[in-house]
Structure 1
Amino acid sequence: MPSKGVILIATGGGLGRLPKAPGTWASLGLVLVFAGVSRFLPPVLQSVLAVILFLVGIWSAERYAAAQEEKDPKEIVIDEITGQWLTLAGFEATVANLALGFILFRLFDIFKPLPIRLGEKLPGGLGIMMDDVLAGIAARFTLEIINRFLLS
């Protein structure tokens, strides 16, 4: 059985234990948190937080998955939380950015086009995290294009 701290982190405070669409709920929860805290965090600190989420995510996902004896248990949502943060970090928390960032991240995460799908093939906690990190980067890039050419 993993420690309470590992469970708390890996399941996003318990959001991963919701019966339907835990990854979507975790992403939505992160969007709400981002909306509340982003104005107090300069972009460089948002980037540092993304790295911390990634490293802590690898650690907690690895331990949680090993304890469950599964490759990628559905309750692990720290990967969605990290990917969603990567999508939004540095953007102004407008309704348009939050909504588009959420939708774009969920689409890239659910459909996993190449090379995003390849991230799952990595071992352990890194494999659990990497597809969502790549989905977050793809969503972020797409959101940047939308902001530059459609919302400006």
Structure 2
Amino acid sequence: MNRLILSFLGSGYIRPAPGTWGSLAALPAAWVVYVAAGPFAILIGAAILYALGIYALNVELKDTDDHDPSWVVIDEVVGQWIALLPIAFGAYSAGVNPLLLWPGIIAAFAFFRLFDIWKPWIIGKVDARGDATGVMLDDVLAGVFSAMVVIALAALAHSGIIGEIPDQQ
């Protein structure tokens, strides 16, 4: 069960780039959660997956030197869901289908992967902890940084500086 959680239903075993596959798997999963229960459910779901990830990592990796195996992607799912929160809440508050905000979804995905791979500033410091909290928390921070970029890009788009707002029909 721990491996099923940590690999996010097996998506962490897809090669190459399992972290990217885990992030991609997070997108339709977030959509299902949004449709079923709204944007707050994505936030709550991310918190639950974070806690499950910490627990499962502590159990699964207690007797190994590899603190962050490549097949562990639950951290990517949590971070990706955080990166998607501005789109989910924005669409919900505007009463539009979040898929109409597809440029924001692409930006959330791309910036999350960038911050997760690059690990700038505090993200890298947290990752260097070498424990379950470091594995999970660096992706939370990458998700928060990505969400901030998504918000900034949305502000620019809504101001007319970049792009156009999709038709809300």
- TM-score (ref. length: structure 2): 0.80
Query: 1:57 aligns to what?
Result: 53
Given that residues 43 and 81 in structure 2 are in contact (C-alpha distance below 8 angstroms), is that contact kept between their aligned partners in structure 1? no
Alignment of 1:133-144 (within 5 A): 133-144=140-151
Instruction: Work out the percentage of aligned pairs sharing the same amino acid.
Output: 32
Counterpart pick for 2:33 among 27, 30, 37: 37
Matched AA of 1:51: A
Given that residues 35 and 98 in structure 1 are in contact (C-alpha distance below 8 angstroms), is that contact kept between their aligned partners in structure 2? no
Matched residues in 2 for 1:122 and 1:133: separation? 14
Given that residues 26 and 81 in structure 2 are in contact (C-alpha distance below 8 angstroms), is that contact kept between their aligned partners in structure 1? yes
Given that residues 39 and 85 in structure 2 are in contact (C-alpha distance below 8 angstroms), is that contact kept between their aligned partners in structure 1? yes
1:17 aligns with 2:44: no
Q: Judging changes above 3 Å, is the alpha-carbon distance between structure 1 residues 83 and 124 closer, same or farther for their aligned structure 2 residues?
A: same
- TM-score (ref. length: structure 1): 0.88
Matched AA of 2:102: V
Query: 2:135 aligns to what?
Result: 128
Query: Which structure is larger by alpha-carbon Rg, 1 or 2?
Result: 2
Given that residues 86 and 147 in structure 2 are in contact (C-alpha distance below 8 angstroms), is that contact kept between their aligned partners in structure 1? no
1:109 aligns with 2:105: no
Matched residues in 1 for 2:29 and 2:156: separation? 27
CA apart distance, 1:130:
1.1
CA apart distance, 1:101:
0.7
